[in-house]
Structure 1
Amino acid sequence: MMKGKMLSHIVTISPIKKKCLIILMVVVVPCSILNFLSTPDLRDETALQNGIAELQAKLENLQAKYVNTQEELNLLSHQLLTFTENAHILPDLQYLINNGTSNITSIKLPSIFTFLPYLLNDLNSLKPAFLQSKGKTGVSMVLGIPTVKRQVQSYLLATLKNLLDSMSSEEMADTLIIVVVAETDLDYVSYVAKQIEVHFPEETEIGLVEVISPSPSYYPNFTQLKNTLGDDHQRVKWRSKQNLDFAFIMSYAQTKGTFYVQLEDDILAKKNFITTMKLYALEKIGLKENWFILDFCQLGFIGKLFKSVDLPWLVQFFLMFYNAKPVDWLLDNLITTKVCGIDKDNKHCKIAKAELWRHYEHSLFQHIGTHSSLKGKVQKLKDKKFGKIILHYPHENPEAIVESQIKPYKRYTLDRAYRGETFYWGLLPQSGDHLYFNFSRPIYIKKYLFRSGNVEHPSDKFYNTTIEIMSEFSNNMDRNNNNITEDGYIVINKFDSFGIAQGRVDRSFGKISGLRMTVHSDSDNWAIISEIHIVEDESR
């Protein structure tokens, strides 16, 4: 929760004659507001407005939690009352119930079991089957990322790395990323969670990234789904499951923070996207604009921001019609149902929907995946408002003759990549393949960086590949040393799990006449080098 000072307490007594439970709500005022009040500087007016808007959003969340608690108390009271009709209990408890449940309605409202009755077959159907969490709550922004097993290529780790690299430390402290592995194979779920933990140990440890998965009994018998919209059964199953996955992650996330953003596992984000989204949302709240969706991407369900208090609307709607339509269609239908009357024309409807569904002027997210999680589906749509995607990073490197034993694809050659004209793209590296960088004259190397893969092809990296140098002292070194190859190269580094090799070369190695990459195992993927940066040490 944001650091602040306590302003007031709201104490509410439960309906069971105010004897059962006391709910304490603490309203915390951001320090920015208190500081402004003590220092009336008009230049801070925007900060004050944002602080008030943030406080208003947090109060809405507290009210939603209060209503939810009251609902649970009413249900508990009703269950106790039902129990007393058939069993003898202590007189004091009988008195409490008889005097505290007189206002309980006999009307039975619809619940999740109304739309998914099969959930009653297993008491654990609504509990996560897997949960890797530190329990982080009270943040401003919750990012929901559902992921499934993809047959061709997984983008999840690359997406997480990009999201984290695009955040400041302050943004990380105020954000929670929830990855929902929407698979019933717990071995696979555990594997994905372990991969996230290994690649992002600090983020996992502090609770910034958590992983959950639904129970197998959360899903229906997909063979019994009705085929709708003229789609084949495989597509109906895919989109129906996606609706249920979205409902699951939103249900889990709604109490974690003020705002919720729906993302996908194959996207690219712009720098400081968290701050941009938060300020835009607070601006709309400060202006008292009535919005339901803030849209930061033009494609599908990517980059859609909601107030967490509004998530129950989405969850209920998705569960009611999960077998009927794709999730992005249902979202549009929900907005249409809210504001479009049968007595109004399409023009009026369009204007009314635009007030609830606000579009940010630029796109903060881009879809990078090519192969959909639906077998055989290729998704090449791009958001034109995102801007140009950087596929390679050009640098001026020392003059050298370069050579690759890996056949290049079309004009994506190593020589052009070294000159910064494009990226290098090689076909299926095999064990023993080399890439050579022979300098026109021996040089001291200050530092180097080789980045493999790019945002469109994150799996086209160099795996099990070392970085080696030919030093002026190589011939004098012990060939029994594990870091010396048979032909005299000194192994100084290797590519990490993100496909990056970088470091410094100590001057004690002397001048370097050549540098090479050596592949030590066959690869199932092509390989891209999107950045080559070799910096000569010209100091004396």
Structure 2
Amino acid sequence: MRLRNGTVATALVFVTSFLTLSWYTTWQNGKEKLIAYQREFLALKERLRVAEHRISQRSSELNTIVQQFRRAGAETNGSKTALSTISDNTIKLLKELTSKKSLRVPSIYYHLPHLLQNERSLQPAVQIGSGRTGVSIVMGIPTVKREVKSYLVETLHSLIDNLYPEEKLDCVIVVFIGETDLDYVHSVVANLEKEFSREISSGLLEIISPPESYYPDLTNLKETFGDSKERVRWRTKQNLDYCFLMMYAQEKGIYYIQLEDDIIVKQNYFNTIKNFALQLSSEEWMILEFSQLGFIGKMFQAPDLALVVEFILMFYKEKPIDWLLDHILWVKVCNPEKDAKHCDRQKANLRIRFRPSLFQHVGLHSSLSGKIQKLTDKDYMKPLLLKIHVNPPAEVSTSLKVYQGHTLEKTYMGEDFFWAITPTAGDYILFKFDKPVNVESGNQEHPGDILLNTTVDVLPLKSDSLEISKETKDKRLEDGYFRIGKFEYGVAEGIVDPGLNPISAFRLSVVQNSAVWAILNEIHIKKVTS
């Protein structure tokens, strides 16, 4: 079969303005409750994981306090003067705690011992925003001073302008200014407050910067992998910036997605990301990728950020962030006794790529002084080969021969597009449900693979005592279905007679052999108004 190039948009739309109001309202409420329960369950699952992580953190912090008391006791050597202001019960408790010789787990201070010199080393020097928490997605954007041009404002406009009002309530964008020059930091803050005052006051946008004491001495770093001293310092500081931002963001939401300050986004990006994550809620993934470039568009589950931060801090001076990220996956799933292909297959289960890319890199001048980077994501311009929707339960089946695992079930779940080999007369695609449907046939990469000579049939839930027009009666088939439309050049339109409602099944029937294959890239159950 030869695939034809071009652009063809095909759609099947059912006009359902005459649906029985009570039936549709009942179904719609049920659908919304189901989705709400699914999201609440997922959120509860994530909160439990976060709670376990916090318990571990508090235990570590308590152990640190005990160690400090132990050192204090050793230094005073039981001096009565030092203990004169402490009650007998407190002294007894401290002795019990410090007498226990428990093992100590290495903490962030092991990798960054200079942090102990200032108790505010892990507190933002500047923090603007309302401190929103409990959202679905936290977007982290690190930014530093650029010699030529800053793209930060354009990036934020792209992110914010492509959010619907309800989505703006379910996310938070955190801008991390990775500079210790407070005059510069305050100038950036002032600019953002002027440009995005509404977003800051509403809680959508937050701005932070680290204290100078957060950074170690970066002047004597070992040069590795052929990188210059300046580049090694740049990538090392970048790793530390990512860690500070992740530590700040980890308790704010369910998911954290890493972005950059020189990108643009596609329309409907937030809903696409959220639905993709919900569809994979039962999978043991670690990273969802929404861009193929570097660290852009990499999303984590919030509880996993602790592991990511800890791993990066262990090797922050050794390698750049994207390499370290790949090493985390290697450590988790790769068997040294297996070959590289086996390792790649195992990592693919943890690192799931969404196509096409939702984020495009637009910055020409890098934050690394003097570097010009003409990096673009080639997948960004590709058409969306499938549209993801959360559909209610339904039984799906087809007689068409599936091509390379692009099954109808995956399409219904929003995981893939359906691709079938040359349909023949008598083939069908069947959805057993009682709801209105919006379906698209064909996609832009293979525009010739559309449904031709195919009819649209519906099966009413009750076949007896139907109050329908004579015109509708004439469309009844022997098996009880009613033929309401057909595909012409990939497009089909039909009107559902209100007397047929509620509908229990929807069928696409091939009435003539086709010379091309067929693609179905969207299944969405929703009300479509005229």
Smaller-chain TM-score bracket: 0.5 to 0.7
- The answer on whether the counterparts of 1:142 and 1:178 sit within 8 Å (CA) in structure 2 is yes
Structure 2 residue 210 is matched with structure 1 residue 214? yes
Contact 2:175 2:206 in 1 (8 A): yes
- Name the amino acid aligned to 1:90: S
Bigger Cα displacement from structure 2, 380-389 vs 265-274: 380-389
1:340-359 CA deviation, whole Å, 9 max, x = no partner?
A: 12111112101110001011
| CA 1:243–1:122: 2 relative to 1, 3 Å | same
**Identity level (%):** 47
Out of 89, 113, 117, which is 2:113 matched to? 117
Q: Aligned pair 1:297/2:291, yes or no?
A: yes
Matching residue of 1:168: 164
Partner of residue 347 from structure 1, selected from 337, 341, 344 = 341
Amino acid at match of 1:148: V
Give the counterpart letter for 1:331 in structure 2: L
CA contact (8 A) 2:158 2:264 kept: yes
- Give the Å deviation of 1:326: 1.1
Does structure 1 retain, via aligned residues, the 8 Å contact 2:60–2:105? Answer: no
Q: Does residue 93 in structure 1 map to residue 90 in structure 2?
A: yes
SS, match of residue 173 in structure 2 = strand
- Give the secondary-structure state (helix, strand or coil) at the position aligned to 2:364: coil
How far has the Cα of 1:97 moved from its partner? 4.1
Inter-partner Cα distance in structure 2 for 1:205 and 1:47: 28
1:130 aligns with 2:126: yes
Q: Find the residue that maps to 2:138 and give its secondary structure.
A: strand
- Contact 1:142–1:253 (Cα < 8 Å) also in 2: yes
Whether the 8 Å CA contact 1:50–1:279 is kept in 2: the answer is no
Q: 1:458 matched to which residue of 2?
A: none
Are 2:309 and 1:315 equivalent residues in the alignment?
Answer: yes
How far apart are 1:46 and its partner, in Å? 5.2
Residue 360 of structure 1 is matched in structure 2 by: 354
- For each residue in 1:238-260, what CA deviation from the matched residue of structure 2 results, as whole angstroms up to 9, or x when unmatched? 11111111011111111121111
Which deviations, in whole Å up to 9, do the C-alpha atoms of 1:152-197 show, x marking residues without a partner? 1110001011110011111111111111110111000000011110
| 1:247 alignment partner, one of 243, 248, 262 | 243
Of 248, 257, 260, which aligns to 1:264?
260
1:224-239 matches, within 5 Å, as 224-239=220-235
Shift of the alpha carbon at 1:77? 4.0
One-letter amino acid of the counterpart of residue 366, structure 2: S
1:445-485, CA deviations, whole angstroms, 9 ceiling, x for partnerless residues? xxxxxxxxxxxxxxxxxxxxxxxxxxxxxxxxxxxxxxxxx
1:296·1:303 contact (CA, 8 Å) conserved in 2? Answer: yes
Distance 1:132 1:215 in 2: 14
Q: CA deviation at 1:361?
A: 2.5
Does 2:97 match 1:108?
no
Q: Distance in 1 between matches of 2:28 and 2:58?
A: 39
- Correspondence list, 1:428-507, <5 A: none
Aligned to 1:377: 371
Contact preservation (8 Å) 2:236, 2:320: yes
For 1:387, the equivalent position in structure 2 comes to 381
Q: Name the SS for the 1:193 alignment partner.
A: helix
Deviation, 1:39, is 10
Partner of 1:528: none
Change (3 A) 1:195 1:388: farther
**1:336 aligned to 2:333?**
no
Distance 1:79 1:116 in 2: 18
Partner amino acid, structure 2, of 1:364: L
CA 1:128–1:341 in 2, change beyond 3 Å: closer, same or farther? same
Counterparts of 1:131 and 1:222, CA distance in 2: 25
- 2-side partners of 1:182 and 1:381: how far apart? 22
State the TM-score, normalizing by the size of structure 1.
Answer: 0.61
> Secondary structure of the residue that 1:294 maps to in structure 2?
strand
The amino acid of 1:60's aligned partner reads R
Counterpart of 1:143 in 2: which secondary structure?
Answer: strand
Report if the CA contact (8 A) 2:139-2:259 is conserved: yes
Higher relative contact order (CA closer than 8 Å, sequence separation 6+): 2
How far off is 1:207 after superposition? 2.1
Q: CA contact under 8 A between 1:54 and 1:282: conserved in structure 2? A: no
Q: What is the TM-score when the length of structure 2 is the normalising length?
A: 0.62
Give the counterpart letter for 2:368 in structure 1: L
Aligned to 1:68: 57
Cα deviation per residue 1:309-344 (whole Å; 9 max; x = unaligned)?
Answer: 111111112111111111111111111111112111
* Distance of aligned partners of 1:200 and 1:39 in 2 relative to their CA distance in 1, 3 Å threshold: closer
Q: Quick check: 330-339 or 118-127, which moved more?
A: 118-127
In the alignment, which of 139, 142, 160 is matched to residue 138 of structure 2?
142
Structure 1 residue matching 2:378: 3-state secondary structure: coil
Picking from 48, 55, 73, the partner of 2:44 is 55
How big is the shift at 1:93? 1.6
1:183 aligns with 2:179: yes
